[in-house]
Amino acid sequence: MSKHTFRIWRGDSSSGEFVTYRTEVDEGMVVLDVLHRIQSEQAGDMALRWNCKAGKCGSCGMEVNGKPRLACMTRMNTYSDQEVITVQPMRTFPVIKDLVCDVSWNYEQNKKINPFRPSSAQSDGRYIMSQEDVDRVQEFRKCIECYLCQDVCHVLRDHKRQDVFVGPRFMIRAAGLEMHPLDTEDRIGMIRDELGSGYCNITRCCTDVCPENITITDNGIIPLKERVADRYYDPVIWLTTKISSAIKTTLKN
Partner 1 sequence: MSIDINEIETFDHDVVVIGAGGAGLRAAIECSAQSLNTGMICKSLLGKAHTVMAEGGAAASLGHTDDRDNWKVHFRDTMRGGKFLNQWRMAELHARHAADRVRELEEWGAVFDRTADGYINQRPFGGHRYPRLAHTGDRTGLEMIRTLQDHGIHQGIHIHQECTALKLLKDDARISGVFGYWRETGRFVLFRTKAVIMSTGGAGKCWRVTSNSWEYTGDGMEMAYMAGAELIDMEFAQFHPTGMIWPLSVRGILVTEGVRGEGGVLQNSDGDRFMFNYTPERFKEETADSPEEAQKWLDGDTSARRPPELLTRDVVAKAILNEVEEGRGSEHGGAYLDIASRRDPDYIKRKLPSMYHQFKELAEVDITKERMEVGPTLHYMMGGIAVDGETQMTSVPGLFACGECTGGMHGANRLGGNSLSDLLVFGWLSGLGAKEYISQLTRPLSIDSDDVELARHAAVAPLNREGGENPYVLHEELQSIMNDVNIVRTGAGLQRAIDAIEELKPKLDNIYAVGSSQYNPGWNQALSMRPMMIVAEAVARSALIREESRGAHTRLDFEGEREEWGNINIVVRNAEDGSMEVEQFTRDVPPEHLAEIAYSNLDDLEGGIHV
Q: What residues line the site for partner 1 (CB under 8 A)?
A: 12, 26-30, 33, 39-40, 44-59, 73, 75, 96-98, 100, 103-104, 107, 110-111, 115-116, 118, 121, 125-131, 134, 137-138, 141-145, 173, 177, 180, 182-183
Round to whole Å and give the CA distance between 214 and 164.
23
Q: Minimal CA–CA distance to 105: which of 160, 53, 159?
A: 160
> Nearest 5°: phi and psi at 122?
-65, 170
CB of 40 to partner 1, least distance (A): 4
Q: Is the Cβ of residue 45 or residue 158 nearer to partner 1 in the bound state?
A: 45
Strand partners, 70: 61
CB of 1 to partner 1, least distance (A): 11
Q: Is the Cβ of residue 84 or residue 121 nearer to partner 1 in the bound state?
A: 121
Q: Is the Cβ of residue 28 or residue 235 nearer to partner 1 in the bound state?
A: 28
Q: Is the Cβ of residue 115 or residue 235 nearer to partner 1 in the bound state?
A: 115
CB of 193 to partner 1, least distance (A): 19
CB of 86 to partner 1, least distance (A): 21
For residues 74-113, one letter each, b for 16 or more C-beta atoms within 10 angstroms of the residue's C-beta and e for the rest, the string is bebeebeeeeebbbbbbbbbebbbbbbbebebbeebeeeb
Q: Determine which helix (DSSP H) or strand (DSSP E) holds 4, and give its type and residue range.
A: strand 2-11
CA atoms within 13 A on the CB side of 20: 6
Q: Is the Cβ of residue 39 or residue 199 nearer to partner 1 in the bound state?
A: 39
Round to whole Å and give the CA distance between 9 and 32.
15
CB of 121 to partner 1, least distance (A): 7
